[in-house]
Amino acid sequence: MDQTSMTYHEQTDIDNTLRLREILKTLPPFAKDYFRAIEPTTSTRTRISYAYDIRVFFQFLLNENPALKGKSISDIQVSVLDQIKALDIEEYLEYLKVYGDRENLHTNGERALKRKMVALRGFYAYYYKHEMIQTNPSVLVDMPKIHDKAIIRLDADETAMLLDFIEHGGDELTGQKKVYWEKTKVRDLALITLLLGTGIRVSECVGLDLNDVDFKNNGIKVVRKGGNEMIVYFGEEVEAALRDYLAVREGITPITGHENALFLSTQRKRIGIKAVENLVKKYASQITGTKKITPHKLRSTYGTALYQETGDIYLVADVLGHKDVNTTKKHYAAMDDQRRRKAASAVRLRED
């Protein structure tokens, strides 16, 4: 396939596949069977995450298990998995919380611990199912508990202030700062308006191509987690911001291989996830110093606004691309609580 005709997601998959092959070279040889088996049901990004997690597990065994002293990862046979007890895995979870030295310290919070445990359970389940091992101690260890955190989002007035700042915050600038702001403000306004007005993920946003935008129906075609395509619709404010940006983009000549990208960096390449995270942080820090706003928080802002307007949790789940509506319910349960609190004062039993 010609690289120039590839979509962002096709190119990303190829890059990730090559990267995964390199990581698998650092795992025990038998591990390749597992990653080959899960290929049809997982994304390349997920397999890379699992490969890193499984590698940490084997590094832990090499460092902490006396039976493997002096061995390398390539020496480890599948039979080693049968020698591991539930207690060893509990010690592994404890180890994961903080490991390494002061120069190269690693820490894992609740979500990271749970993901690593999911990876290890899947790994063990494959070899147990195929009768290559006789025991599966991973199922005897409780999954790390995830404590709910308050949803951080922008309030309606903060959303308006954010967009106003992108549009006019550079009016008083001078010199190179003024030049840079003028060069990027229309793009940044379109990008952040799109995130706030549709709730799409930052990865979905940077993956958009020019032909994914349909002004006839005011929709964009996004590739969701797992590779499913979906049309997400947008309103007049998003339409206006996108049209303004596309008028500016017509005057930019992208570098080879990036001609189809909707959002371009100042280097005329497809803008990256990190760049979007940085620009959201830059603008949001001028609006609120107490909230750490990321692209994902803009997604929460949209989800909150949509739920407040419609009260339809299933619609919110569908538009946000949540496979399980319970995920959506968990995130927005606090809002239901707020509505229930209003009920306490809504009904008067006696007039004053």
User: What are the tens digits of pLDDT across the range 90-103?
Assistant: 999 999 999 888 78
Q: What is the pLDDT of residue 267?
A: 95
Q: Who contacts 68 (Cβ-Cβ below 8 Å, separation ≥6)?
A: 61, 62, 76, 80
Q: What is the mean pLDDT of the chain?
A: 89
- What's the CA gap between 276 and 202, in Å, rounded? 7
Report how many domains make up the chain.
2
Claim to verify: residue 121 and residue 192 sit in the same structural domain: no
pLDDT band at 46 (very low <50, low <70, confident <90, very high): very high
In this structure, what CATH number is given to the domain that contains residue 114? 1.10.150.130
pLDDT band at 195 (very low <50, low <70, confident <90, very high): very high
Residue 319 clears pLDDT 90, i.e. is over it = no
- What's the CA gap between 282 and 185, in Å, rounded? 12
Residue 343 clears pLDDT 70, i.e. is over it = no
Domain contains 349: no
Residue 337 tokens, joined: 């609580």
The pairing of strands 104-107 and 219-223 is unpaired
Q: How much of the chain, in percent, has pLDDT values that exceed 90?
A: 63
Domain contains 278: yes
Residue 165 clears pLDDT 70, i.e. is over it = yes
Claim to verify: residue 67 and residue 167 sit in the same structural domain: no
In this structure, what CATH number is given to the domain that contains residue 276? 1.10.443.10
Q: Which residue has the higher pLDDT, 87 or 304?
A: 87
Domain contains 16: yes
- Residue-wise pLDDT for 127-154, tens only, equals 999 999 999 999 999 999 888 777 788 9
Claim to verify: residue 167 and residue 263 sit in the same structural domain: yes
Residue 349 clears pLDDT 50, i.e. is over it = no
pLDDT band at 40 (very low <50, low <70, confident <90, very high): very high
- What's the CA gap between 248 and 186, in Å, rounded? 8
Q: What is the pLDDT of residue 9?
A: 84
Claim to verify: residue 207 and residue 305 sit in the same structural domain: yes
The domain in which residue 125 lies consists of: 3-140
Q: What is the pLDDT of residue 213?
A: 96
Angle (CA) 183 186 187, round 5°: 85
Domain contains 147: no
β strands within 187-258, DSSP E: 213-214, 219-223, 229-233
Residue 341 clears pLDDT 70, i.e. is over it = no
**Average pLDDT of 302-319?**
86
Residue 201 · residue 300 · CB < 8 Å: no
- What's the CA gap between 310 and 161, in Å, rounded? 24
Residue 106's beta-bridge partner residues?
99
Claim to verify: residue 306 and residue 161 sit in the same structural domain: yes
Claim to verify: residue 107 and residue 244 sit in the same structural domain: no
Claim to verify: residue 209 and residue 326 sit in the same structural domain: yes
